[in-house]
Structure 1
Amino acid sequence: MTTGGVTSVQNIRFARSADGVGIAYAVHGSGPPLVIDKSWLSHLQFDWQSPVWRHYLVELGRVATVIRYDERGYGMSDRDVSDHSLEARVADLEAVADDAGIERFALLAMAQGGPVAIEYAARHPERLTRLVFYGSFAGDQLATTPEDVELYETIGAMIRVGWSRPTSEFRRVFTKMMIPDGTEEQMRWIDDLQQVAVDVETAMLARSHRLVTDSSARLSELDLPTLVLHSRGDRAQPYQRGRDLAARISGARLVALESNNHIVLADEAAWPVFLQEVTQFLAPDRLSVAPTEVEDVASLLSPRERDILRLAAQGHDNNAIATELVLSVRTVERHFQNVYTKLGLQGRNARTAAVARLLARPSP
């Protein structure tokens, strides 16, 4: 059953990691595969109707087959786990990709999923089509100054004391870091997610492993299309971390989201920016999938962009197209640039390739 082109239910499955730990993952949507390493706080079932995450799941499911999973010790994955090392977490991602039966896919790393995605990309470049980082980083840094040590210990004490309490005063501190501009309903959901997703012992153990996890040395090895999105006012992961990622990955593109939230919410002006950037970035993967599996190329373009391509196919140059459509030549050029971006084309032959793809689409 589908609603608005999006599967209305998710298919939950289980993969077995290298050390035998069961990793829960969910599949929904249609189109080329997009694996999401959401990391840390997640619960596949609880997230499905979330007032914080639902818009991501719905909209990304319109352009891709979304495969997301709960990390070891979290959500619906096996809970009684002691190994939260980078090696184990990379093995979990490997297990999910293999169990899902996908040969090549785009990988979206959120927050603390960054180091895992970087390591996976360095080890398995042949498996990835492209890489997206959202509110993420290459590695945490150990506390070095007395102030850093004090802050680290204070946060640890808050987790130990407040995580399991029936009231949410302590958990609300973390919620405020993630969505400071959220509504009370959204904040209550994050408060609850913290308890639903993980117990206090696992949260503390995983946190200690993450503080010594750093994949920065691998960044120079990455050689695939990369998009980095990060909120300027992110309090959970400072914007500078996203900027550093983009600066150290060859050819990476950085998009600054005008938001204070670690998780951009549906009613923010930054949300359509995020969605457009990710949709356009994934467009080449959609075009590489058989026409029976996704909408044809025309569905990616606006009516005006299709008109311009059709005229180009008839041999019109930019001046003639501008005259025919009563536009300025500059506007026609801008439309062509938008087309090239959506179709993942560049260089001298981009115009010819765009026309060829439009003409090659199946007849209605």
Structure 2
Amino acid sequence: MQELAFETLGQGPALILVHGTSSTPNGTWGPAMKELARSYTLLLPHLPGSGDSPLPASPLDAEVIASQIADVATRAGHERFAIAGASLGGPIAIKVAARYPDRVTHLVSVNGFSRARAGLRLRQQIFETALPLGPDVTGKVLLTFGLTEQAAESLPDKILNDMARQIGSSLAPGTKEQIALTCTIDVDADLASITAPTLLMVGTQDNFVDPVHSAHLAERIPGAKILRFEGGHGVIMEQTERVLRAITELTTALS
């Protein structure tokens, strides 16, 4: 089994943060990492095809990635850990919690899903189709899906264009493979077996992963709590303090 590259940050009980499609830990979790590192040892794996984590010869597989993430915790010296995943990181975190119930203390999903419904698959296909068109176009596609109308309207066109170019220029080498995983991953059968205390956070204006995905998780994961925040797919950036507070409250027992 190939090993994932990972970083560590902070001090305290272990908390794994799983990033989204074509991203990195910092790209997905951004300012939340610095604050969480005050209370936790953050384990920050790069999914296959992101950062220095190699792509396998075969298509990406959620079972294998779950094993690789658990291995990250082992290599870092942590037998037990909480895990939080955003977007594609959500179903991956769910898979880890289902496979390693004795190791996962708490589970958090932010704008996650168990399987991609038709609308999400279509948006991923548009994302992939835009890749050969260059960073400006790809970045604008991602901003269209990622920003709420209110957030976009508050920014001057120059800043929006600069953001699009920056996003489109920083895509992971394994973007196409991660898009394929986003479209095919299915952890529905794992939901009923989750035993870790579970928190689901959702941006009510998410244009990328429709909130119905999180509502489905709330119905199927025993005892799951769902929090709905005003915001879009980037709710971690938009509502950083509320996201931090919710994670800290859930995982208080860790410390």
TM-score (norm 2): 0.86
AA aligned opposite 1:78:
P
Query: Aligned in 2, Cα 1:285/1:195: closer, same or farther, shift over 3 Å?
Result: same
Given the alignment, which residue of 1, 12, 31 partners 1:31? 12
What is the distance in 1 between the residues matched to 2:13 and 2:123? 43
Residue in 2 that maps onto 1:85: 61
Residue in 1 that maps onto 2:248: 279
Kindly indicate whether the alpha-carbon contact (under 8 Å) linking 1:39 and 1:70 is maintained by their aligned counterparts in 2.
Answer: no
What is the distance in 2 between the residues matched to 1:265 and 1:114? 13
Query: Aligned in 2, Cα 1:278/1:148: closer, same or farther, shift over 3 Å?
Result: closer
Q: After superposition, what is the alpha-carbon deviation per residue over 1:256-294, rounded to whole angstroms, capped at 9, x for unaligned?
A: 0111x212265x4x33222211111111111xxxxxxxx
What is the distance in 1 between the residues matched to 2:224 and 2:196? 9
Instruction: Give the greater-gyration-radius structure (CA).
Output: 1
Give the gaps of 5 or more residues in structure 2: none
What is the count of residue pairs matched by the alignment?
Answer: 249
What is the distance in 2 between the residues matched to 1:85 and 1:70? 15
Q: CA deviation at 1:83?
A: 3.0
- Within a 5 Å distance, the mapping from 1:322-341 to structure 2 comes to none
Secondary structure in 1 aligned to 2:37? helix
Q: CA deviation at 1:255?
A: 0.4
Q: CA deviation at 1:132?
A: 0.7
Query: Aligned in 2, Cα 1:264/1:187: closer, same or farther, shift over 3 Å?
Result: farther
Kindly indicate whether the alpha-carbon contact (under 8 Å) linking 1:34 and 1:108 is maintained by their aligned counterparts in 2.
Answer: yes
Query: Aligned in 2, Cα 1:99/1:191: closer, same or farther, shift over 3 Å?
Result: farther
What is the distance in 2 between the residues matched to 1:66 and 1:148? 29
Residue in 2 that maps onto 1:112: 88
Query: Does residue 256 of structure 1 match 2:224?
Result: no
Given the alignment, which residue of 150, 175, 179 partners 2:147? 179
Q: CA deviation at 1:80?
A: 6.8
Residue in 2 that maps onto 1:316: none
Kindly indicate whether the alpha-carbon contact (under 8 Å) linking 2:136 and 2:161 is maintained by their aligned counterparts in 1.
Answer: no
- Within a 5 Å distance, the mapping from 1:70-81 to structure 2 comes to 70-79=46-55, 81=57
Q: CA deviation at 1:227?
A: 0.7
Given the alignment, which residue of 221, 225, 244 partners 2:197? 225
Give the gaps of 5 or more residues in structure 1: 1-17, 287-364
AA aligned opposite 1:206:
Q
Secondary structure in 2 aligned to 1:133? strand
Residue in 2 that maps onto 1:327: none
Q: After superposition, what is the alpha-carbon deviation per residue over 1:301-332, rounded to whole angstroms, capped at 9, x for unaligned?
A: xxxxxxxxxxxxxxxxxxxxxxxxxxxxxxxx
Residue in 1 that maps onto 2:111: 135
Query: Aligned in 2, Cα 1:43/1:176: closer, same or farther, shift over 3 Å?
Result: same
What is the distance in 1 between the residues matched to 2:207 and 2:36? 25
- Within a 5 Å distance, the mapping from 1:4-43 to structure 2 comes to 18=1, 20=2, 22-43=3-24
Q: CA deviation at 1:128?
A: 0.9
Kindly indicate whether the alpha-carbon contact (under 8 Å) linking 2:130 and 2:137 is maintained by their aligned counterparts in 1.
Answer: no
AA aligned opposite 2:170:
V
Question: Please, which moves more after superposition, 202-211 or 117-126?
Answer: 202-211
Query: Does residue 242 of structure 1 match 2:223?
Result: no
Residue in 2 that maps onto 1:214: 186
CA-based RMSD: 2.7
AA aligned opposite 2:13:
P
Query: Aligned in 2, Cα 1:226/1:187: closer, same or farther, shift over 3 Å?
Result: farther
Residue in 2 that maps onto 1:332: none
Q: CA deviation at 1:251?
A: 0.8
Query: Does residue 169 of structure 1 match 2:145?
Result: no
What is the distance in 1 between the residues matched to 2:67 and 2:58? 15
Q: After superposition, what is the alpha-carbon deviation per residue over 1:174-217, rounded to whole angstroms, capped at 9, x for unaligned?
A: 12312342656587456434443423xx3223322332210011
What is the distance in 1 between the residues matched to 2:34 and 2:72? 21
Identical-pair percentage: 24
Query: Does residue 198 of structure 1 match 2:157?
Result: no
Secondary structure in 2 aligned to 1:108? strand
Kindly indicate whether the alpha-carbon contact (under 8 Å) linking 1:75 and 1:196 is maintained by their aligned counterparts in 2.
Answer: no
Secondary structure in 1 aligned to 2:206? coil
